[in-house]
Structure 1
Amino acid sequence: MERGGHPVYLNFKKIVSYPISSFALYPSFKKSKDKVQPTKMQRWFFMDDNEILESDASSAASSRSKKTLESSGEEREWTFKVVMNHDLLPNECLGISGSCASLGNWSLTKSVLLNHEEGTNDWSLTTNIPRDRQVYYRFFVCSIDPTTESKHVRRWETHLHPRSIPEMGDKAESDDIFGDVEGEEKIDRGWLTTESIVQLKFFNSPFALKQRMKSRLLYIKVTPMNLRIHTSDNVISPLEDSLSNDTRENGSEQAPYGFAEVCCYKYDDCDIKPQPQFGVPCAPNDVVVFHITVGDIDSVAYLVDLYTYSSKASMEEPPYHLGYHYILPNLLKRSEGKLEMPITCATKHRPLGTMRLDYLLIKPFTSHVLDMKLSFSRYWNKKWSGLDVGHRGSGTSFKTKEAVIRENTIASLKNAVAHGADMVEFDVQLSKDLVPVIYHDFHVYVSLRSKKTIDTHDLLELPMRELTLEQLKNLKVYHLVEGRTREPRNFDNDSMEEHQPFPTLADTLDAIDSHVGFNIEIKWSQQLIDGSMEMEQNVDRNLYLDCILDVVFSKANSRRIVFSCFDPDICAMLRFKQNLYPVMFLTLGQTSRYPLYNDPRCNSIEKAACHSRGMELLGIVAHTEDLLRDPTQVSLTRELGLIMFCWGDDNNSRETIQHLKNLGLHAIIYDKMEVLTSKETKESVFLVPSQASQKDFFKLQALERERRPTEDCIYVKENSEKILELDEDRRKISLSAATSFATLMDE
């Protein structure tokens, strides 16, 4: 099949499997002269401030130089060639995106598809690129929705430094290998642009069968079905009933545009991958999540087929088709929900029992257009170990009466920063008017009288989500502890603006030093193991997250940001809605201090690690109680290539903090940074490099002024010696600066 043109429709009768690459979370970065110059937002997470300053010092000259060279219009013909050693599905092809117009300027919509050489794994593209400047590029696996002709990124190369072609054609054309750059393989799944993801989740003994079949192990397979079937008369006909998609023979039916994959949450098998022909096993204690990418969720139904093997069957015999059920799109009304459906016998078409499942719809984040220039979704520098993270800023303020600063306020965050916090952790949820605000609890107490006195009948407990931002700011609002004890707390400087509760996320991003990292915990109500909800949600999940992402992408600039949440579905949604910021899964683990969640992915480090690996999250934030009980779980997580933070009251001890750092935790979240930190220099690890490089910055500024005698002339023969001197001085600075980019990145 020729893969250079439009892809064909999926044929779900014959699923082609392909191996999932092993993802290298800890890349071995090498010194390179060819480094991409990212934008402020995109360079936040990996660049040493020394390199940022150097880049800023020469930005004006490089900008004018680029305009001069681009206006010259000098181009060269170049053939891009890549070998694809991973199997592709029938409607997948290869594309390329890069830093020049002919490669789309990193835009997915303007990217270019490669041509496939029939009978080989070779793909190529011949095009013109600029002659007098470096060109950066990445390869990606692409699929195209035949209805909208939209390009979708299935997988893409996410190395920090893209492939590059030096100026003047010094590099000879050669065959690249998809995903491999200088021996380092890094391939990540794409993000949603115009398509959507449907996840069907089976866990907690999802099947209720007749007594004689209760002991059977069932295999599940899910197949997307096209509801818009065009006949020869071009009329939409209803969906044909079928015992099984594997046995249906209907030549007039088109399969929908989509990809049906599965994640089995086994420690040694937790990547998302194509389904086997007869599905995957689902025992009572298993967790199985079907991950289905579709172009039009309103025109796709889902056929759930159940198979089982006869106890007398040999290993070579296929299973028999036990039953089935169709899930129509009108059942998936919200972004999440629960379904209980009958299982119909595949032979007699009678009820066999019921099955229960949860579903999740992930829709694209469209407020900001994301490009392919850089991704930090699974990047963590090895030197970032044992980081100090301020819990709610300077710590919880209502568990004891010793706190002097109210939690989750700008003042609390600034206090943690002043005492050396590398990052600050805080909670974000939406007000009634959909403004992201910083607050931990789902409920508040509102006073009907003066703040000076509290009477039993004066307070009303309300969900925080029922109050607008203006009401939160202007009403007399009390914390849950104050309301339940009827004892208002007085904090230092409580009347000052920065000490007020409910700061907005936007104001917080503006107020805190940009060198300090943010661990933004998304608050979302979950179902507990007893069936009750922490709080009933009335805002759609997709809208909820889009409001938060819109603020972050508008205001974050160069700040290092990591998202986290106790809800595994929120984590998956954050991962697939955007391609820039990392996401971590908060987990309770095994504990008696807090009620467990109904979702088993939340209640053990192993299941949390499998979820993080399968959904390609950065890692997990484990409960320290669980780690102290069984420290071997740290290595269990790291063997999957995941980053690990930890949280919990146990962290509020210098001895425990040091013990956790010795175990290899990447970050510890704790209260009272001013008391518990062991840092001699009370500064963020991300701030020190910029201060160390100030002298280098001033020297570079002076050298740049010498280099540019006029605004219009960039390259002048008489200045060639000075240009060489500048390059030599930059080289010396790079070698001498203790916090240089090379020092930061080299392993």
Structure 2
Amino acid sequence: MLPRRIPEGESNVSDPSIEKYGSYGGSERVESGWLTRDSVVQFRLCTSPLYNDPVMLFKRKYQDKKVRIKVTPKELHNNSPGDPHNGVPGSEESSDFDISNLQIDSKPIWPITEVAVMNEEECLFHPQPQFGVVCNTGEYIVFQCRMLNIETNAFLCDFYIEDGNEELPNYLGCSYILPSNLKENFGVATLPITSPKHTAIGQLTVHYMVVYPMPTRCDMSVSYARHWKDTWKGLEVGHRGAGNSYHSEPKSCANIRENTIASLKYAAEIGADMVEFDVQLSKDLVPVIYHDFHACIALKRKKEQDKTDLLEIPIKDLTISQLQALKVYHKTEKGLSRFSDEDFEDHQPFPTLQKALESVPYTCGFNVEVKWTMQMRDGTYELQHPFELNRFLDLIIETILEHSGKRKIIFSCFHPDICTMLRLKQNRYPVMFLTQGVSELWPPYEDQRTTTIRHAVLYSTNADILGINVHTEDLMRDPQQVQMALEHALIVFCWGDHNNNQENIKFLKSIGLHGIIYDKIDVYNTKVKKESVFLCEEREAGINSNGTTSDMQETNHS
């Protein structure tokens, strides 16, 4: 999507909608944009079996009452004139608090604080009500503060309790979230709730995330953050290139090692509209393509030389040169590799993201899955990550911005907070939320937003991202869930073993899927004409590097 331009000195524009902010193509849409010099802090209140209830009050008389919470950024060592507690008895030293004296500034001021509740009516961010939002059991609440100096701000959390006999809620107490509570930029904090008489009356548990702007600035020259053509339907996406090469079903295994340049190129040559692959960082902070969090190397035993053990080493603990020098195995191979072509450069595991961007024809789109550890419902983590999250994402985004050219690119991740950060940090490329939903095949994650397609839809609407990438197992259980996503104007992809079947691929296209990710794209490809939709668009538009359509086609398939 390109910004509209009004010729200099021209005041009478024939199209009256051009002067209306947010109006484009017959529809209206206004977005909050991306981070430039400002930062974002999000606080999430959610019920989880692994953590305390977000708001826990000690006295029994409060157990059946509705509790409200409001979050207000407070500049440290500075009482601002717009402070709703400034000059109110009971806000500091006094033990008395008269809620009728509370001063509310109705004008929007900086920092901007908004709230969303993950339900159909309130999932979009909006200004907080005067006395905050009700914190009902089981609800998922997100507070978002947009500000310039996070390090010099605390966050005042005021609590009110509703009494059905009174018009206004009663002030209960407060908590302070200090900058020191956010030192990890991502985590969980538990804080005391104190009454106006300085008595501990409960505790607050919040999941928090701090998002900083990228050093590399985006601009308004072009944005695909929410751009999707009507003709981009039923796209066929190669899983890890030409397919998973270590599948539990041997017939579904690709014949080229997954996530290699050779696999990505082959998928492009046989008509994949896009290829999906996984990106993480090496120890020396190079974005590298590899699916698993660990690499396996073979170890010979001292006394039993004929036996081999596999040792798993985290990718994060090895530099790019060390990774590319390793003879690696998959954990299912038991020391006997399926592939003997590692002497060829394009078949080497651990290609860099930059090399993929430079080597694969640009008319094949990229679905870049960002690999980040998730907490499972049993409390364990897939990996203990050493990287600071903002820096981790900045390096991946910067590589893509520098080397992407005209390629169509989508970011995706199973971690919803990563999706939020990818959306806030840049406006160039869209983001999709990967979710497994209801599954008997995969162990569940702790995060409530990952548990159902409905939760994924509400989260994606809240985060203002392009769409969702759902597990086909859940989709086949109830295909009507696709309509739910489409009604929220979301783009829908799907992934999973169910897609490794031509009849299923055709069915998924028929119910409105925008993209289907599957293995062995050379076998299950349902296209009549085996070429990328983006290549077709280029040819039809007459855009090519050598001035002739045939030359362009040969160049991009070589």
Q: TM-score, normalised by structure 1?
A: 0.66
Give the corresponding residue for 1:511.
359
Say yes or no: does 1:648 pair with 2:496. yes
Counterpart selection for 2:208 from 353, 359, 375 = 359
Say if 2:308 and 2:335, in contact at 8 Å, map to a contact too.
no
Counterpart selection for 1:321 from 156, 167, 171 = 171
SS in 1 for 2:202: strand
Give the corresponding residue for 2:520.
672
Query: Could you say if the C-alpha distance between residues 457 and 344 of structure 1 is closer, same or farther in structure 2, counting changes exceeding 3 Å?
Result: farther
Which is higher, the Rg of structure 1 or of structure 2? Answer: 1
Give the corresponding residue for 2:190.
340
CA-to-aligned-CA distance 1:83-132 (integer Å, 9 cap, x gap): xxxxxxxxxxxxxxxxxxxxxxxxxxxxxxxxxxxxxxxxxxxxxxxxxx
Q: Note the 1:210-249 alignment, pairs <5 A.
A: 210=58, 211-229=60-78
Give the corresponding residue for 1:739.
none
By how many angstroms is 1:164 displaced?
A: 2.5
Query: Could you say if the C-alpha distance between residues 351 and 164 of structure 1 is closer, same or farther in structure 2, counting changes exceeding 3 Å?
Result: same
The farther-off stretch of 173-182 and 497-506 is 173-182
SS in 2 for 1:165: coil
Say yes or no: does 1:528 pair with 2:376. yes
Alpha-carbon separation, structure 2, partners of 1:437 and 1:566: 18
Query: Could you say if the C-alpha distance between residues 241 and 197 of structure 1 is closer, same or farther in structure 2, counting changes exceeding 3 Å?
Result: farther
Alpha-carbon separation, structure 2, partners of 1:466 and 1:697: 42
Counterpart selection for 1:559 from 402, 407, 410 = 407
C-alpha RMSD of the superposition: 3.0
Say yes or no: does 1:423 pair with 2:423. no
Query: Could you say if the C-alpha distance between residues 226 and 652 of structure 1 is closer, same or farther in structure 2, counting changes exceeding 3 Å?
Result: same
By how many angstroms is 1:696 displaced?
A: 10
Alpha-carbon separation, structure 1, partners of 2:119 and 2:24: 30
Q: Note the 1:598-747 alignment, pairs <5 A.
A: 598-692=446-540, 694=542
Say if 2:71 and 2:157, in contact at 8 Å, map to a contact too.
yes
Alpha-carbon separation, structure 2, partners of 1:349 and 1:639: 49
Query: Could you say if the C-alpha distance between residues 230 and 636 of structure 1 is closer, same or farther in structure 2, counting changes exceeding 3 Å?
Result: closer
Query: Could you say if the C-alpha distance between residues 182 and 547 of structure 1 is closer, same or farther in structure 2, counting changes exceeding 3 Å?
Result: closer
**What letter is aligned with 1:478?**
Y
Give the corresponding residue for 2:86.
none
**What letter is aligned with 1:533?**
Y
By how many angstroms is 1:608 displaced?
A: 1.0
Query: Could you say if the C-alpha distance between residues 440 and 455 of structure 1 is closer, same or farther in structure 2, counting changes exceeding 3 Å?
Result: farther
Counterpart selection for 2:42 from 187, 192, 199 = 199
Q: Note the 1:159-558 alignment, pairs <5 A.
A: 160-165=2-7, 171=13, 176-181=19-24, 183-204=26-47, 205-210=53-58, 211-229=60-78, 257-313=110-166, 317-346=167-196, 348-366=197-215, 368-399=216-247, 400-401=249-250, 402-448=253-299, 459-482=310-333, 486-491=334-339, 493-558=341-406
Alpha-carbon separation, structure 1, partners of 2:269 and 2:286: 28
Alpha-carbon separation, structure 1, partners of 2:188 and 2:55: 14
Alpha-carbon separation, structure 1, partners of 2:15 and 2:501: 58
Number of positions where the alignment pairs a residue of Structure 1 with one of Structure 2 = 525
By how many angstroms is 1:625 displaced?
A: 0.9
By how many angstroms is 1:493 displaced?
A: 2.9
Alpha-carbon separation, structure 2, partners of 1:696 and 1:498: 26
Alpha-carbon separation, structure 1, partners of 2:440 and 2:37: 43
Alpha-carbon separation, structure 2, partners of 1:593 and 1:509: 33
SS in 1 for 2:313: strand
Alpha-carbon separation, structure 2, partners of 1:455 and 1:193: 59
CA-to-aligned-CA distance 1:316-358 (integer Å, 9 cap, x gap): x121122210111111102201111122234x43222222111
Alpha-carbon separation, structure 2, partners of 1:440 and 1:173: 50
SS in 1 for 2:6: strand
Say if 1:163 and 1:181, in contact at 8 Å, map to a contact too.
no
Give the corresponding residue for 2:88.
none
Alpha-carbon separation, structure 2, partners of 1:699 and 1:432: 44
SS in 2 for 1:342: strand
Alpha-carbon separation, structure 2, partners of 1:282 and 1:184: 35
The farther-off stretch of 682-691 and 393-402 is 393-402
Query: Could you say if the C-alpha distance between residues 169 and 610 of structure 1 is closer, same or farther in structure 2, counting changes exceeding 3 Å?
Result: closer
Query: Could you say if the C-alpha distance between residues 341 and 245 of structure 1 is closer, same or farther in structure 2, counting changes exceeding 3 Å?
Result: farther
SS in 1 for 2:537: helix
The farther-off stretch of 300-309 and 472-481 is 472-481
Identity rate of aligned residues, in percent?
43
Say if 1:223 and 1:245, in contact at 8 Å, map to a contact too.
no
Alpha-carbon separation, structure 2, partners of 1:617 and 1:626: 21
By how many angstroms is 1:469 displaced?
A: 0.3
By how many angstroms is 1:609 displaced?
A: 0.9
CA-to-aligned-CA distance 1:291-321 (integer Å, 9 cap, x gap): 10011001100011122211444xxx12112
Query: Could you say if the C-alpha distance between residues 692 and 383 of structure 1 is closer, same or farther in structure 2, counting changes exceeding 3 Å?
Result: closer
**What letter is aligned with 2:438?**
Q
CA-to-aligned-CA distance 1:574-597 (integer Å, 9 cap, x gap): 001011110000111111211111
**What letter is aligned with 1:270?**
C
Say if 1:190 and 1:579, in contact at 8 Å, map to a contact too.
yes
SS in 2 for 1:481: coil
By how many angstroms is 1:697 displaced?
A: 9.5
SS in 1 for 2:230: coil
Unpaired runs of at least 5, structure 1: 1-158, 233-238, 702-747
Q: TM-score, normalised by structure 2?
A: 0.87
SS in 2 for 1:534: coil
Give the corresponding residue for 1:742.
none
Unpaired runs of at least 5, structure 2: 48-52, 82-90, 550-558
